[in-house]
Amino acid sequence: MSKIKNFSARLEVRNVKLRLSISVIFLLLIIPLFIAFIFYSYQTNYSIYKKNAIDLVTRANDESIHNLIDFLDPIADAARVTSRLVASNPELINQDKIAEHIIVNLENNPNIVSYFLASKEGSFRQVQKTNKSIPVGERVPPDGSRFVSWVIDRSKNQNAESTYTFFRSWGDVIEKFTSPTKYDPRTRNFYKGIVNNVSEGKVDIPFLDDPFFATSTKQAVIGTTYPILVKNELFGTVTAQVQVKTFADFLEKNKISKNSQTIIFNAGGDIVVHPDVNSGFIKKKDVLVPRKVLELENSAASLAMEMHDSSKLKQIELFFGDKQEPYLAIFSSFPADYIKPWSVMTIVPIGDFMGELNRINQNLILFGVLAFMGIVFLTFYLSKLISRPLESLTIEIQNILAFKSENTTLVKSSIYEISTLSKAIKRLKSTIAAFTSYVPRDLVNDLLNSGKDIELGGESRYLTILFSDLKDFSSLSEITPSRELLLRVSSYLELMTYAIKEEGGTVDKFIGDSVMAFWGAPLLNQNHAYHACVAAVKAQRRMLGLNAKLIADKKPPLTARIGIHSDAVLVGNIGSSERLSYTVMGDGVNIASRLEGMNKEFGTSICVSHSLFKEAGERLCVRPIDQILVKGRKSELLIYELVGIRDGDAETMATEAEQELCELTTDAFEHYTQANYEKAKTLYQAIVDKFNDQLSRAMIEKCQLKLKV
């Protein structure tokens, strides 16, 4: 009814406001359909574009992996050939003429920047291409030099110096000098890695270094090392180094979109290849070391890596930047049998692939705006055809809401729906006028809100009934002055009423200090059992506050006992033509009253039936009491004590102690029902010892009686 009142109040301004309201209704029907169409089209196209983007990025990752492998394989082959050459003539490792072979490899493979051999004695022989900008042995390469060799011969002297030789080609020496050195190749990762491989029998598998800044070439390199085996013993190693920049340039030139970024990283999250070589390294203690992907500052890649580490997903969508732009990150792994457990990540703004999709959406929105304007004009015009008769019907509705009995003429309209509505309103007015002559108007409003026809009599409906009573009220009334007793009982009744109303219940009647209420009528309530239990718990919790005030005033506290039962009962208007009462009747009402009385026998406060437990038990914190016989029924009735609400708020939530009490009682009752009375008695006694529980005391007595039989 309140909704009708609000609507009719909005119709008081004639013509314009009514026409606008009708137009809005039409638009509210059309706009969601249009929005749904736009959303569906966008989502479908977005899914297609995103799938294409995922496929494209995945292929790009695979291509990057294969290209890096194809890039490194020839380097490894060159190192393998040299290792076998030296293995066939071990003396070459300490002879200058091996440099001629190395120079051939450097000239045949421009990607190799350095080539060196290391022996088990600690000798070292390296040949690399010279670069004017890179000093060697703290000297700038002289003009005309193309290569430089670095030799440490420890075959005869472990304290040998470093010898540097600059030359144009083999035999054409430009400059040569020596300097002290502490460099020992046997302490380096490449040598230790080969030693480890050989010890594990992996003699045909090269050792592949993660990128590092070489001290000799002053640039980021990746080294491929093969062992030199003489008589199946490790004699030394051969290493070929390539620039990381070569492959970094490849990644940068072959981006799948303008803003995409591809990064190769190892199992520890260290960057192997970054499109910007300088971004792949970080300075720590005056040494450049590989940077972790997570250390990339202000980078969507670092966020994607963090999400990948936590979820292990190969495909990640994220938002990054001040504008929270959507990104797509695809992770791919190198083949499982590859030397290194490297992985590739490509991250790209999804917007790079959505340009065409955005244009399609703009066209759809433009079409929608034009259609919207046409619908506005049409609905505003059509609303004029029904605005005037609706204004008259609005006045009639207002009279009905105010229970006015003025005679009004029937609104006539050529529109079938309006004519039918006019007749229905006239009939409704006559019905309400007759009904309010013997039914209170508040109840009429509730019954009208229920949406059902109002008629004498009742109907069978499955409801929940609550009975509440005060403990020892008769004794209290004998020793308490009438006015004081009235105030105290009124406080209790008010407390109960508010708790019932808050949970949508209907207070049926007050019988002295007793309260009868029910849920599920006149308005339907699918969770009537649950709401009744919440109201009961609220009432008991609030009784604690009421009693605290009574005790503070040096007055005895009040103890309320509540019984709740769910059952099919008769509900409706019962009475005479002079006076009606909207109430419930039936055996279920008697059971609810009986349950309230059972609290006295077992020392409980809220007693509920098994039928209620079946309706809402999973949301309640209850403990079984016993199976009892109810007058008028042949079968026993299982009853429970309601302690709290499992999913309730702070006021009704069961405490941990109450939950424990329920669990212990349930365990004891299970033994009781299985006729294991001795065990049940022991468990109930443990509950008494811990909680001083009255119910458990009562059940101990029952166990003792059973044991005597």
Based on the domain organization, do 499 and 620 belong to the same domain?
yes
- Inside any domain, residue 492: yes
Based on the domain organization, do 533 and 647 belong to the same domain?
yes
Q: What is the pLDDT of residues 200-225, one digit of tens each?
A: 888 888 888 888 777 666 678 888 99
pLDDT at 4: 39
Based on the domain organization, do 472 and 620 belong to the same domain?
yes
Q: What is the pLDDT of residues 237-273, one digit of tens each?
A: 999 888 888 888 888 888 888 888 899 999 889 888 8
Confidence of residue 106 (pLDDT cuts 50, 70, 90): confident
Q: What is the pLDDT of residues 130-174, one digit of tens each?
A: 887 777 877 888 888 888 888 998 888 888 888 888 988 878 889
Q: What is the pLDDT of residues 426-476, one digit of tens each?
A: 777 777 666 554 444 545 666 555 555 555 677 899 999 999 999 888 777
Based on the domain organization, do 345 and 459 belong to the same domain?
no
pLDDT at 448: 58
The Cα 499–Cα 495 span in angstroms is 6
List the structure tokens of 20: 């606008």
How many of the other CB atoms lie within 10 Å of CB of 196?
Answer: 11
Please give the backbone phi and psi of residue 375, each rounded to the nearest 5 degrees, phi first. Answer: -65, -40
Q: Quickly tell me which residue has 């970024």 as its tokens.
A: 261
pLDDT at 537: 96
Q: Quickly tell me which residue has 């004891």 as its tokens.
A: 668
Q: What's the gap between Cα 43 and its chain centre?
A: 22
Based on the domain organization, do 458 and 591 belong to the same domain?
yes
Q: What is the pLDDT of residues 375-404, one digit of tens each?
A: 777 777 666 666 667 767 777 776 766 666
314: CATH: 3.30.450
Based on the domain organization, do 349 and 458 belong to the same domain?
no
Last residue of a domain, one of 635, 654, 673: 654
Confidence of residue 494 (pLDDT cuts 50, 70, 90): very high
Based on the domain organization, do 637 and 517 belong to the same domain?
yes
The mean pLDDT value for 589-598 works out to 93
Report the SS3 class of residue 275: coil
Q: Residue 622: is it exposed, middle or buried by C-beta count within 10 angstroms (0-12/13-18/19+)? A: buried
Q: Residue 438: is it exposed, middle or buried by C-beta count within 10 angstroms (0-12/13-18/19+)? A: middle
Based on the domain organization, do 470 and 346 belong to the same domain?
no
Helices 694-708 and 587-602 sit at what angle, rounded to 10 degrees?
Answer: 90
485: CATH: 3.30.70.1230
Report the SS3 class of residue 209: coil
Task: Give, for 166, the enclosing helix (H) or strand (E).
Answer: strand 162-167
The Cα 437–Cα 432 span in angstroms is 9
- Inside any domain, residue 693: no
- Inside any domain, residue 663: no
Based on the domain organization, do 647 and 536 belong to the same domain?
yes
- Inside any domain, residue 339: yes
Query: Mean pLDDT for the chain?
Result: 83
The Cα 573–Cα 584 span in angstroms is 9
Last residue of a domain, one of 321, 338, 353: 353
Helices 694-708 and 677-691 sit at what angle, rounded to 10 degrees?
Answer: 160
Structure letter (DSSP) for residue 557: -
- Inside any domain, residue 580: yes
Identify the bridge partners of residue 637 per DSSP, sorted by sequence position: 628
The Cα 606–Cα 621 span in angstroms is 12
Q: What is the pLDDT of residues 322-362, one digit of tens each?
A: 888 989 999 999 998 888 889 999 999 888 877 766 777 77
| 468 or 284, higher pLDDT | 468
Angle (nearest 5°) at CA 210 between 208 and 310 = 120
| 399 or 597, higher pLDDT | 597
Q: Is 403 left (phi over 0), alpha (psi -120 to 50) or beta?
A: left
The Cα 247–Cα 263 span in angstroms is 11
List the structure tokens of 654: 């069961």
pLDDT at 438: 44
Task: Please tell me the total count of domains within the chain.
Answer: 2
Measure Cα distances from 109 to 27, 117, 128, 205, 614 in Å. Answer: 72, 18, 12, 21, 82
The mean pLDDT value for 629-634 works out to 75
| 654 or 475, higher pLDDT | 654
pLDDT at 453: 54
Based on the domain organization, do 480 and 333 belong to the same domain?
no
- Inside any domain, residue 637: yes
- Inside any domain, residue 622: yes
Based on the domain organization, do 495 and 620 belong to the same domain?
yes
pTM: 0.49
Q: What is the pLDDT of residues 90-99, one digit of tens each?
A: 888 888 888 8
**DSSP secondary structure letters along 352-417:** GG-HHHHHHHHHHHHHHHHHHHHHHHHHHHHHHHHHHHHHHHHHHHHHHHTT-----PPP--SSHH
CB 565 within 8 A of CB 611: yes
- Inside any domain, residue 86: no
Angle (nearest 5°) at CA 78 between 75 and 82 = 140
Report the SS3 class of residue 607: strand
For residue 595, the enclosing domain spans 453-654
Angle (nearest 5°) at CA 181 between 178 and 183 = 130
Report the SS3 class of residue 174: strand
Identify the bridge partners of residue 129 per DSSP, sorted by sequence position: 147
Q: What are the percentages of helix, strand and coil residues in the chain, rounded to 5?
A: 50, 25, 25
Angle (nearest 5°) at CA 285 between 280 and 291 = 15
Last residue of a domain, one of 353, 378, 399: 353
pLDDT at 452: 57
